[in-house]
Structure 1
Amino acid sequence: MASVAITPMESNFLVPNATFFVELAAFALLLFLLGKYVIPPINRAMTARQDAIRAQFAELDEAKSEAHAAEEEFKSQIADARHEAARIREEAREQGAQIIAEMREQANAEAARIVEHAHAQIEADRKAAMAQLRSEVGTLATTLAGRIVGESLEDEARQSRVVDRFLSELEGAR
């Protein structure tokens, strides 16, 4: 049986040696430096970015609500404008009908006035024609009667009576 002797040069892998402690110190130093100088700025940048994203989402939600409110207001204004346009059209239609009725009334009144004036003018012309006709017929009748009778009928009173009698006989014969 041979005895196994452990020499101080041989090391047990379970027992840490000086290299392990140097590596452990370097790792701790690296971890400290990363924790102290590298990770906090990264965390601040990530936190700032998250806050910016949250603010953008909040602004987006606010813009959406403003857009919806503006859209509703626009739709309301459009509806109001349509109602106003319909009201204006209806008023214009009513005013047009009223104007047409007034113009018809004026035209009828003007036509009646023209007809009345024409009747009056015709009556005046008829009377003037009758007066002129009486005068001419009277003169012709008295001249003719004077020739037939052989007497002069120059007397105004006699001439007037003869003409009136002749014209009344003519009117009675109608």
Structure 2
Amino acid sequence: MNILFYSICFFCRYVELEPLETLTMKDRVKNNTMYKFIYNTFGAKSVEVTLFDDLKRTIGKYTKTNGVIFTRLSSTGFLTIEIKNKNPEKIKFGYRCPDVNKEVQGALGPIKDEDAVAELLSVLENNILSQRRQIEKYENHFNLVTKSKTWVFRFVLFEIFTSIGILYYLHKNTLKMFEKKHVGN
């Protein structure tokens, strides 16, 4: 009967711990992924939460009555969570282990929509790709402008000299028209 009670409490994320009792839980964790553990003791005075990796190395020891713990393991394996009730009376211990990849923080707290993260991720990736394309366009345009500067300068000089030549020719022809030709006498 006691096993049934503990299994119901385990799935409800709520456990009652007897005085000076220790509860140990294990959770499978993939390497290099964020792990989040939220706990609350509902007003108990003293509790100790300790996290261990597969090699029984202590990841962290926490003595606050409630908290949010973030950790990242370097190898795939089990994360051991040990909760010790240091109170002389029975305490309630509540906890959650939400999936960090599927949790979005909104203005009023976490948003429980699994598709929102995937949608936001795709929007972000599309924005990054469009910005990269725009930067490539700007760089190509800049390269074209820098290469064409010398040709533009050459064409402007050619136009100036051609205009000066045309003006000189017109001026010379206009003066010839008004010159008086003296023939004889």
Q: TM-score, normalised by structure 1?
A: 0.39
Structure with a larger share of its residues in strand: 2
Query: Greater relative contact order: 1 or 2 (C-alpha under 8 angstroms, separation 6 or more)?
Result: 2
Structure with a larger share of its residues in helix: 1
Q: TM-score, normalised by structure 2?
A: 0.37
